[in-house]
Structure 1
């Protein structure tokens, strides 16, 4: 009798350990996504400067994703307006975004495009949930 109780307790402990291990990764993923910081930027470009702007922002985006705290740097173009761009940048935290703004490639981009941007609206955001496939 004592042996069967001991076996049952052992089996229960193994089941519980398996359940905990299945729960922990999702909690870890949720904690990671909760810490992400997004910089969402709308840009209206001077029409005559579009191609030069596109070259400059592409160079900046390519260099940005190589930074330690930058997870993503998407450059989107509004389908109905070839001169409207949207930047979707994901960083580990706000400090990583601030560090990005101090890099030589960002400073070059900012100086190069200063007269190309007719309107700029940046919106810092925190990630509530990240759903990707």
Structure 2
């Protein structure tokens, strides 16, 4: 399994908009992508506008396919002006 974690912060005053586009991308990813097993959108307690994403894919190829979907392109374009900073990390889930 391939895990992607993303930490991001909304531009001041744009958290609600970012929350909505994150939720839409997550829902479409799980519904439309056979290789996407989980996509959680979390908001940091006590820090409105600070988000953490946990995404679980079958493998790296499934994640690469996610990046090529039309709904991800819409998300990328809509979120560009809403994100102040972003950090992406990738991990391989130990099958033990």
Task: Give the TM-score of the pair, scaled to structure 1.
Answer: 0.69
Ranges in structure 1 where 5+ consecutive residues have no aligned partner: 1-35
Distance 2:29 2:51 in 1: 17
- Does structure 1 residue 72 correspond to structure 2 residue 38? yes
Pick aligned residue for 1:122 from 85, 88, 94: 88
Residue of structure 2 in register with 1:41 after alignment? 6
| CA distance, structure 2, for counterparts of residue 116 and residue 39 of structure 1 | 20
The TM-score normalised by the length of structure 2 is 0.94
CA apart distance, 1:129: 5.2
More helix by share: 1
Aligned position for 1:53: 18
Q: Structure 1 runs of 4+ off > 4 angstroms?
A: none
Structure 2 residues without counterparts, runs of 5 or longer: none
> Looking at CA atoms only, which structure, 1 or 2, has the larger radius of gyration?
1
Higher relative contact order (Cα pairs below 8 Å, separated by 6+ residues): 2
Q: CA deviation at 1:48?
A: 1.2
Q: CA RMSD in A?
A: 1.1
